[in-house]
Amino acid sequence: MTDLRIQAVGDDASIHDWQYVHNLIIPGDVLSFDDVRDRTGRNRMEVAYLGDALVGCTTVRPPTKDNGATATVIARVLPEYRRRGLGTRLYERALGQARALGAQAVETVVLASNPDGLHFAEQQGFVEFERYLLREGDTVPWIDLRLT
């Protein structure tokens, strides 16, 4: 298998690629290019490729003093590249980054319409603690889970 190549989001091409994966997987929360660029200032974000093919992305929201040193870690893999271990590799890498940033607790967030993501998070040891709608009129809840 071609090696997985992972790079930090920074230049325009990588911002576009991260945006593409995010918006395809989370169609209810479409982000603009500028939204994504803004997030690179707050979060640690990476994109992953097999050869030249874009396969996924990650987000690590760093721990802060105000949130009890809790980091949020999210791995995303495009549907056609799932169930071959890529999600686990991206998640473990992002979890390592969160720990290196000093996270004492780790959370993730999954859209309820995404059974693959929910199952994956539970397999990794996350337990649901909150379910909510982001905006009025939304029908699909977000699920916050904490690593136990």
- Does position 91 interact with ligand COA (CB under 6 A)? The reply is yes
CB of 18 within 8 A of CB of 57? yes
Stretch that binds ligand COA, among 11-19, 27-35, 62-70, 112-120 (CB under 6 A): 112-120
CA separation, residue 58 to residues 80, 101, 125 (Å): 17, 15, 18
**One residue of 17, 63, 87, 93 binding ligand COA per CB under 6 A:** 87
Query: Please, what sign has the CA dihedral across residues 110, 66, 56, 39?
Result: positive
- Does position 43 interact with ligand COA (CB under 6 A)? The reply is no
DSSP 68: T
CB of 145 within 8 A of CB of 105? no
**One residue of 45, 95, 106, 121 binding ligand COA per CB under 6 A:** 121
- Does position 103 interact with ligand COA (CB under 6 A)? The reply is no
- Does position 86 interact with ligand COA (CB under 6 A)? The reply is yes
**One residue of 15, 71, 74, 147 binding ligand COA per CB under 6 A:** 74
CB of 127 within 8 A of CB of 110? no
Q: Which is nearer to ligand COA, 1 or 65 (CB)?
A: 1
Q: Please give the Cα distance from 18 to 58 (Å, whole number).
A: 8
Residue 131: both structure tokens together: 């379910």
Query: Can you give the binding site for ligand COA, defined by CB under 6 A?
Result: 25, 74-77, 82-88, 91, 108, 110, 114, 116-117, 119-121, 123
